[in-house]
A and B are shown apart, each in its own frame.
Chain A
């Protein structure tokens, strides 16, 4: 009797010991993951407005090999070109349906030969223009929404109603292959149009030709990293209070869409930019917050972007140097921000 009670005490003590160890382990892991991230995001106020010719409608910003800066303006359906001192040089394209026109372009990129490759959404085509805006070639694509190019000249395109996430074309516009499977959404069978909508994404290609696909509307905020061959090398699931808030809002919106049988959803992620200096992934959620993750997907910093007192959401960014960044806001234009010392890149 006494032996059995001693055994029981030993067992309970062991169980308590294991539980304590588990708790300590979990807490330490949580602390490591949340290192450098304060509970409240640090507020960053814009230093100045830049590229003032591109007002509301600014959506994308890119640079070419010579250092010139290109800003895509959706409102005017044109691309504004600046030199490296931010001096306005010229405007490429204008609203219309002609051979050199653009209509509600969503995205663009510049290849190593200086060709400007535009997702000309309203005209259902991919437009390839010279640096002066002359048409080189175009090929049909139903509502392209995001585009980027590899160093080999391969053009990667995300559309609005595809069976796959990404389509890959040669530099001459010939279809090569599909990449990426659609993520499950729970409405595949009941509402395929909404399923495609929820799988819309945007692209970013880094200097090593890694392709980052960001789900704009997926209820599990996801960034996928693909090799140039189309092999999935990393999948990052984003979490945290900002993501939880956006997912809750998106779920509410999804219920509404299902009730009304409409293919609409609330955005969660606008896009990502990879910091070529250290491989960090800069994430722009559909909110005024802006987050920096390390290359493995751990949250490093979170900021709240403001222009004066007005919180603004980021859409795209141009990292100028280790502590200066131009953030593009669709409504208000481009703003220069200075990062605080603790988040500066090496």
Chain B
């Protein structure tokens, strides 16, 4: 084998009419190969090392700030929610609240999306956004942030004034978690005394529920109007009724399935009480209307406005802590919560 190899080397050498020169060339080529191999190995370990440090120790050198003319240059903390325009996250409401509260202290928000200007207008109007929104059609944000801006869940990136990523996730933090992050990185301390009642406390057994801001989408019994949800604001009108609440991680994927649930529930006759369906703000009204027509749903359907109450079982055991599962809240004759539980148990025959 060695002999064969050496003879090849010498034959190669004879091409350049000098065996020694041939050997030198071969050695140089071999050395280059070794160097290339070592370099590749080094860059691989570098990459792995950086991945381990991601996402909170990663500096963005090419942040496309010029794409947002309204962005102030002296910002101290930049919140970059990435929005799926087909399923905008309800937390946009709260991000707007945080922005208005802390913008004077240096908080900037740029929502990133990929879509049309009509979709941008719809999102701005629906959520009443006062911060900037940037179309990433040229994928400048995608390259800079190294995240998938067309991810179905969207995502969020938080960058400090040194252009260092402090938080990055394809899953939106909950409202109080976002507040903790903003206060920690903007103010340097977190005010834990600010207590926001948890949504499952809203629907505690025996309690009166909070007023719900809703918009009527479809009803066979009541005409649509801007104030159609007013009756939901009074607890007495909830007396003897059942509220089916639909939350969704991906509203566009789940709307049809949920409307089917609702149709099953109507047909099962398991509820003696009047049923009201309330959907999370990220559901599309048009989609709800068309599916309700398709499956012949008569139950009045509302969309929640503002923050989404994440409803849990009043027992709050491991059982029903499923954020996106539909929930059924039943009210007694006085309008107080009689039972809270997963909807599907009522649907199943």
Contacts and interface: CB of A to CB of B under 8 A. Distances in A.
Interface of A: 53, 55-57, 75-77, 91, 94-98, 216, 249, 252-253, 255-256, 264, 266-267, 270, 286-288, 309-313, 315, 329-332
Given A95-B173, A97-B168, A264-B322, A55 B317 contact: no
12 contacts: A53-B192, A56-B316, A77-B180, A95-B173, A95-B181, A96-B166, A97-B166, A264-B325, A310-B314, A330-B316, A331-B312, A332-B316
Contacts of B322: 264
A75 B206 contact: no
A309 B322 CA distance: 25
A255 B345 CA distance: 11
Given A56-B200, A96-B181, A331-B200, 13 more contacts: A77-B180, A94-B190, A96-B184, A97-B166, A97-B167, A97-B168, A98-B56, A256-B348, A267-B318, A270-B318, A288-B315, A315-B318, A329-B316
Nearest to A91: B192
Chain B interface size range: 35 or more
B180 A312 contact: no
B348 to A, nearest CB: 6
A310 B56 contact: no
B258 to A, nearest CB: 12
A202 to B, nearest CB: 9
A315 B167 CA distance: 30
Contacts of A252: 345, 348
A216 B318 contact: yes
B90 interface: no
A310 B317 CA distance: 13
* Chain A interface main SS type: loop
B344 interface: yes
Given A216-B318, A312-B315, A331 B190 contact: no
Given A252-B348, A331-B198, A313 B317 contact: yes
B256 interface: no
3 tightest Cβ-Cβ pairs between the two chains A and B: A331-B316, A267-B318, A313-B317
B13 interface: no
A266 to B, nearest CB: 5
Contacts of A57: 198
B316 A94 contact: no
B177 A95 contact: yes
B136 interface: no
Interface string B298-328: 0000000000000010111111111001000
Contact of A309 (B206, B344, B345): B206
B201 interface: yes
B204 interface: yes
Interface string B179-193: 011001000001010
